[in-house]
Amino acid sequence: MSISKTLRAAVKTALGRGVTRYRIAKDARLDHTGLTRFLSGDRDLRLTNADRLAEALGMELRRKSERTDL
């Protein structure tokens, strides 16, 4: 799954738990409108903003398994 899809799914999970888009955007130091556009697929996030969003959601990027070809 792509990073964008993973972040969108994590935001939707948080929304399902009652966390508002405004709260997620504020915690991630993102513009609320930009987050809304990202969630709808109209806009991508810059890497720094993806980092902030992942941090606000308590997520981290890690390798699925050890690869020897990298």
> Looking at the domain assignment, is residue 22 inside a domain?
yes
Task: Give the model's pLDDT for residue 39.
Answer: 96
Amino acid at 55: E
Q: Are 5 and 36 in contact (CB under 8 A)?
A: no
Inform me whether the pLDDT recorded for 10 exceeds 90: yes
> Looking at the domain assignment, is residue 65 inside a domain?
no
> Looking at the domain assignment, is residue 10 inside a domain?
yes
Give pLDDT tens digits for 16-70. 999 999 999 999 999 999 999 999 999 999 999 999 999 999 999 888 776 666 5
> What is the C-alpha to C-alpha distance for residues 38 and 52, in angstroms, rounded to an integer?
14
> Looking at the domain assignment, is residue 39 inside a domain?
yes
> Looking at the domain assignment, is residue 23 inside a domain?
yes
> Looking at the domain assignment, is residue 66 inside a domain?
no
Amino acid at 30: L
Q: Are 57 and 24 in contact (CB under 8 A)?
A: yes
DSSP state of 14: H
Q: Is 26 left (phi over 0), alpha (psi -120 to 50) or beta?
A: alpha
Task: Give the model's pLDDT for residue 70.
Answer: 59
> Looking at the domain assignment, is residue 61 inside a domain?
no
If one counts the domains in the chain, the total is 1
Q: Residue 27: give the domain boundaries.
A: 3-56
> Looking at the domain assignment, is residue 26 inside a domain?
yes
